[in-house]
Structure 1
Amino acid sequence: MTTFNSILDVIGNTPLVKIPLPCAASVYAKMEYMNPAGSIKDRSALYMVQQAENQGKLKRGGVIVEPSSGNMGIALAMIGRLKGYRVIITLSDKTAQQKIDTLKAYGVEVVICPMVTDQKDPRGYYKQAHKIAKETGAYMPDQFHNPDNALAHYYGIGPEIWRETQGKVTHFVAAAGTAGTVSGAGRFLKEQNKNIKIYAVDPETSFHSTKGSPRPYAVEAFGIDAPSDLIDFSVIDDVIPVADADVFEMTRTLCHTYGHLVGFSSGAAALGVMKIANTLTEKDVVVFPLCDSGKPYLHKLFGK
């Protein structure tokens, strides 16, 4: 029989499944919502914590604090509590209630902050996390600026996609928040074949898509809301802006038509694939991540 010594050992190596979107290409999705804490953020959370431990930034009995839209917080909650750390997560008040409840179930401390469009606003969850880190001496992974976030995907999902498609992948499309996934995996894939196309998907009213004049948007768990050290435009061929209503519709379609109950970032990535559909041929192999489960968004997506 196959056994594992720890729940952390089953992070990654998620299934790659075909999703017959209406386009000429063969389209596959990485089922990242099958990671133990429920999202692709398990990969980067584990890698950042391990690197911090190796570098002496995080020691036995230490404290982890992180601003999160939910998924990174949940991943750090699972990993941090398992390793014996105190964990504090700051969130915006836009975060789905089930994510907040999940964090509390892991026994971590949750600080809810008003939703702001400027990451520099002292009221927002990003600045509040920095304040707490300074006051408590906590380690802050800082997924928005930590290169280990992108490296987790350079060493993880990137090689997996290359191996599982037997090097046939031609396009990688991913919703971007910190841009760690699209930049890290994208860099690995470009190193294998410079002709692979890499696309980031972003809300049309985000900081990036509006060129610095963001407006509120309804979707959660992705969106380039501030300048990021992780966005690697040397590997990203284009950023695809998407509208709230279209993301909602595609996310519901992934559930109703293809059986994947997933979140907004997954719907955004699938929508990104359809936005480039007219450039695809039957020789193309497109991969996108199903980043998290749709269960935390049931009320918002389906009114349940």
Structure 2
Amino acid sequence: MISNVKSGIYDNVVEIIGKTPIIRLKKIEEYFKVENEIYVKAEFLNPGGSIKDRIGKYILENAEVEGKIDKGSVIIEPTSGNTGVGLALYAISKGYKTVFTMPSKVSLEKELLLKALGAFIVRTPTDIKPEAPNSYYKVAEVIRNLIIKKQKFLNDNELSEIVSYVQQLVRENKLDKLQNILNEKVENALFAYIPNQYSNKYNPLTHYEFTAREVWEQFNGKIDYVFAGVGTGGTITGMSMYLKEVGTVKVVGIDPVGSIYNLVKNGMKIEEALKQAHTYLVEGIGEDIIPATVNLDLVDDIVVVNDQQSFSMTRFLAKAEGILAGGSSGSVLFGALKYLKEKNVKGKKVVLIFPDTGRNYLTKVYNDEWLLKHNLEIDDEKILEVLL
């Protein structure tokens, strides 16, 4: 329970998750001559720095109710970082241990942040198929199996040994050994639990129950468009479920070049779409799978944005509005402006979901040397001229 909400006094950090403010982007409207009101749902102001704090809390609360975890359980999750932080915050408050598997492309800042929160980390290759035994999805299952085989709650040293062993197998590309561990049948037990944000029903339900309702109430129901990136699909699916129940809001997804969402939405079979999938640099959105947590039928349209456009807009946003957001926020802003201009939309109230903070990307998106190393332009205004 919140001890004194009116005075802003809380019992722990988990209690301040959500209820994020709305910020209007007046300078962006003026610069790009957009004849609409552009607002941001500032999810980067959650205590862990992202919208994923919401699902970390809600998923684990329900796991407790359903008897899937108890004090001493190890929470394991494949993540690009932000969901890991959300899970870690809740885990700290309840006495759980955490292990996260992360693709190599994910920023060092996120790894260090998770370690600062007491988590163990295993890095995996980025450019591999989801079903490969060394993918970050499957490596999470490897760790779970090894923990459950111990048939007890592990201390930090015992958990560290398992994590180090698995990281070594991944580093040395011991695919057979990883697959053998995956093939071993283990019964679900309290010792280890994978929430699996990609199939957990409480992922979209979080945004149905909380995020969408907050937005609707903040605008007294007077909004016309919502733009959001599509990662696991939980945010856009859950929000669209609610907004289409209470109003006629148009919900538009943002997808990076290399992801398959836009292709599948436009009628391509998943098998064919996968042939066109490739890696990209922006983190947290796009997929090379169609998770159970996404319902593309609830997404009215999808705009595709490339890495260059995403990062240039992210950097420009910081200088224009003083909002230091992550690269996917730049994707959402670029995609929204592109859509509004191409569709000649005017006089509407538009809400953008900015999922995380730019502090996770200071050595990447905001680092000229890193951009140049990846053959990206650092003259942001030049790139953004296409929207003028």
Both proteins in one fold, TM over 0.5 = yes
Residue aligning to 1:143: 197
Residue aligning to 1:276: 339
Shift of 1:117: 4.1
Task: In structure 1, list runs of 5 or more residues that go unmatched.
Answer: none
Shift of 1:281: 4.1
1:202 pairs with one of 255, 275, 284: 255
2:354 pairs with one of 283, 287, 290: 290
TM-score with structure 2 setting the length: 0.76
1:212 pairs with one of 268, 271, 274: 274
Contact 2:13 2:89 in 1 (8 A): no
2:121 pairs with one of 104, 110, 124: 110
Distance 1:198 1:117 in 2: 31
Distance 2:344 2:144 in 1: 47
When residues 189 and 267 of structure 1 are mapped into structure 2, their CA distance, relative to the original with a 3 A threshold, is same
Letter in 2 for 1:107: G
- Structure with the greater alpha carbon radius of gyration: 2
Shift of 1:185: 0.8
Distance 2:128 2:311 in 1: 21
Contact 2:229 2:328 in 1 (8 A): yes
Distance 2:45 2:85 in 1: 14
Distance 1:73 1:229 in 2: 19
Distance 2:8 2:367 in 1: 40
Distance 2:118 2:101 in 1: 14
1:184 aligns with 2:238: yes
Contact 1:117 1:215 in 2 (8 A): no
Task: Please give the per-residue CA displacement for 1:166-205, whole angstroms capped at 9, x wherever unaligned.
Answer: 1011111101110100000111111111x21111111111
Distance 1:233 1:136 in 2: 36
SS in 1 for 2:77: strand
Shift of 1:282: 4.2
Which range is displaced more, 173-182 or 280-289?
280-289
Contact 1:118 1:226 in 2 (8 A): no
1:43 pairs with one of 44, 54, 75: 54
Shift of 1:283: 3.2
Letter in 1 for 2:293: L
Shift of 1:77: 1.5
Residue aligning to 2:140: 129
Residue aligning to 2:317: 254
Letter in 1 for 2:125: P
Distance 1:299 1:48 in 2: 31
Residue aligning to 1:238: 301
Letter in 2 for 1:18: R
SS in 1 for 2:303: strand
Distance 2:294 2:301 in 1: 12
Distance 1:11 1:287 in 2: 20
1:158 aligns with 2:212: yes
Distance 1:274 1:232 in 2: 24
Which range is displaced more, 200-209 or 3-12?
200-209
Residue aligning to 1:72: 83
Distance 1:37 1:104 in 2: 13
Shift of 1:135: 2.4
Contact 1:10 1:36 in 2 (8 A): yes
Which structure would you say has the larger RCO, counting Cα contacts within 8 Å and 6 or more residues apart? 1
Distance 1:280 1:197 in 2: 15
SS in 1 for 2:286: coil
1:13 aligns with 2:19: yes
SS in 1 for 2:193: coil
SS in 2 for 1:276: helix
Contact 1:179 1:224 in 2 (8 A): no
Task: In structure 2, list runs of 5 or more residues that go unmatched.
Answer: 1-6, 149-191, 264-272, 369-388
Contact 2:311 2:327 in 1 (8 A): yes
Contact 1:64 1:86 in 2 (8 A): yes
1:301 aligns with 2:327: no
Aligned pairs, number: 303
TM-score with structure 1 setting the length: 0.96
Identity %: 34
Letter in 2 for 1:66: E
Contact 2:12 2:93 in 1 (8 A): no
SS in 1 for 2:321: coil
Task: Please give the per-residue CA displacement for 1:250-298, whole angstroms capped at 9, x wherever unaligned.
Answer: 1111111111101011111111211211335443111111111111211
Contact 1:25 1:280 in 2 (8 A): no
